[in-house]
Amino acid sequence: MKKITLFFLFISLIFFCGFKRYEKPYIILSSGSITSENLKRIERVFPTGQRINIGLAAPDGFKDYGIRKQLSKQDDKTSNWGFSIIQSSDFYIDKTQNLYKDYIYIYRPGHYILQFFYINNKRYPFAHVEFKVI
């Protein structure tokens, strides 16, 4: 009986203490400046021509130095399932930092998707957000 109890205790310790939860990177959009106080504030609607500040936060750090930022617009007139790429840029980031800041201006109303990819894995975005410009 002691062996069975010790076995279940050992298994439960492995599951509860042995695995570290990985926190995924996420994107913050803001009409004002991005600080540590507004990291959890959600803004998803912006007027046209306004500066949209972008913050890419990675609580556990970034996995790679090279990152691609891609901005797409949803439109019914395009052939790629309704999405057209508006802007795409590659840049290098410091892996020791947990926050990357940038900004964009959008002058046409619509439904937009902002995605971030690692350069060595361009198929799957590691962070994405949808927002509207009215």
> Which pTM does this prediction carry?
0.77
What is the C-alpha separation between 117 and 62, in angstroms, rounded?
A: 11
pLDDT in tens, 19-58: 666 688 999 999 888 877 777 777 899 999 999 999 998 8
What's the Cα-to-Cα distance from 14 to each of 5, 7, 21, 60, rounded to whole Å?
14, 11, 13, 22
> What CATH superfamily is the domain 22-133?
Macroglobulin (MG2) domain (2.60.40.1930)
- Give the pLDDT score at 17: 65
pLDDT in tens, 80-110: 667 889 999 999 998 888 889 999 999 999 9
Residue 128: pLDDT band by 50, 70, 90 thresholds? very high
Which residue bears the tokens 């130095």? 65
- Give the pLDDT score at 13: 66
